[in-house]
């Protein structure tokens, strides 16, 4: 029988996305690094057995995109092998796994937004580690839904928005890449979508799906930065630079647009308009002064 309110095990509950999911008020069992460290992953099967949830949401990940270039084995352990163990533990109990993935599994550009069924060909260690996690989930044979997303903002903490504002408040033109395009995704509707999918997943037998969820409209990072600065009531200019100019350790997909059509058709979930969510943040943006961050390239 389907539980009225499924018991949800939330991994990565202390992260930016995890904290917002936990705040939404659904009955989640939050778990973090203390309960299961994904670097060794040996606690994961016991945790799943002990909690015996109806569904698992995995928001835990090694997310330092540039750091992964010099720590690829750790990224692979956390984003790849641990996720495989988690998927296996879920499959043993026929528990659906809702897993968060990324646009970084795709390469530079192909002239149209990436579809869920397009073949991942990541350019970076982070992307390779996230693809390994996806592959191991699919190979395990259990029930899963992988939701790829991109350019998260909102929910507090450091992100592209706080980075841009920290710099814009200093007054000098802010250098931002103009040759990367994608969908900035407000965390709140992403968190609500993951919870909604978790509830629905419990009743779907044979669930084996990959979907995309990103904010709309797609935009260049430079134009997103302009919108952020304007929302905060600042007039600092954006200086357009190229990805090559920044020479970041990790390569990023230049065209990171994700096609969300399958999610709309299957679950009736549409893309949130990031401009409305930026507006909602505007008052806070005008009064808070986040610290400058070294890179505006997340």
Ligand X SMILES: NC(=O)c1ccc[n+]([C@@H]2O[C@H](COP(=O)([O-])OP(=O)(O)OC[C@H]3O[C@@H](n4cnc5c(N)ncnc54)[C@H](OP(=O)(O)O)[C@@H]3O)[C@@H](O)[C@H]2O)c1
Residues with a catalytic annotation lie at 126
**If binding is defined by CB under 6 A, does position 258 make contact with ligand X?**
no
Neighbour-count burial of 119, counting CB atoms closer than 10 A to its CB (0-12 exposed, 13-18 middle, 19+ buried): exposed
- Using CB under 6 A as the binding rule, the residues of this chain from 7 to 66 that contact ligand X are 12, 14-18, 32-33, 37-39, 59-63
Structure tokens belonging to residue 143: 């029930």
CA dihedral 12, 115, 257, 55 (to 10 degrees): -20
Token pair for 84: 């495989």
Least spacing, CB of residue 79 vs ligand X, in Å? 7
Q: For the CB of residue 180, give the shortest distance to ligand X in the complex, in Å.
A: 13
Among 124, 129, 140, 150, binds ligand X (CB under 6 A): 150
The residue sitting closest to ligand X, measured at its beta carbon, is 15
Judged by CB under 6 A, does residue 210 bind ligand X? Answer: no
Minimum Å gap between C-beta 127 and ligand X is: 10
* CA 149-151-157 angle, 5° bins: 115
Q: Is 207 in the site for ligand X (CB under 6 A)?
A: no
Cα gap 59→61, rounded to integer Å: 6
Minimum gap (Å) between residue 54 Cβ and ligand X = 21
Residues 50 and 9 sit within 8 Å (Cβ to Cβ) = no
Residues in contact with ligand X by the rule CB under 6 A: 12, 14-18, 32-33, 37-39, 59-63, 78, 100, 102, 130, 149-152, 298
């Amino acid at each position: 029988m389907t539980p009225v309110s499924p018991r949800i095990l939330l991994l990565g509950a202390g992260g930016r996305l995890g904290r917002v999911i936990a705040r939404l008020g659904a009955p989640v069992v939050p778990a973090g690094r203390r309960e299961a460290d994904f670097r060794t992953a040996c606690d994961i099967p016991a945790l799943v057995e002990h909690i015996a949830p109806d569904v698992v949401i995995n928001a835990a990940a090694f997310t330092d995109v540039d750091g992964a270039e010099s720590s690829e084995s750790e990224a692979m352990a956390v984003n790849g092998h641990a996720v495989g163990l988690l998927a296996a533990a879920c499959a043993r109990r026929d528990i659906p796994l809702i897993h968060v993935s990324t646009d970084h599994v795709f390469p530079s550009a192909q002239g149209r937004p990436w579809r869920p069924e397009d073949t991942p060909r990541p350019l970076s260690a982070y992307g390779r580690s996230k693809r390994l996690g996806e592959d191991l989930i699919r190979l395990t044979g259990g029930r899963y839904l992988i939701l790829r997303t991109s350019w998260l903002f909102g929910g507090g903490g450091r992100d592209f928005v706080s980075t841009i504002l920290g710099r814009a408040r200093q007054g000098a033109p802010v250098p931002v890449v103009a040759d990367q395009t994608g969908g900035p995704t407000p965390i709140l509707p992403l968190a609500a979508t993951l919870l909604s999918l978790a509830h629905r997943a419990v009743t779907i037998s044979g669930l084996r799906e990959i979907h995309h969820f990103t904010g709309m409209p797609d935009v260049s990072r430079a134009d997103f930065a302009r919108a952020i600065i304007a929302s905060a009531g600042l007039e600092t200019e954006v200086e357009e630079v190229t990805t090559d100019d920044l020479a970041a350790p990790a390569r990023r997909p230049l065209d990171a647009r994700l096609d969300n059509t399958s999610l709309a058709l299957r679950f009736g979930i549409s893309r949130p308009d990031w401009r409305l969510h930026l507006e909602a943040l505007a008052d806070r943006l005008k009064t808070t002064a986040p610290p400058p961050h070294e890179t505006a390239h997340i």
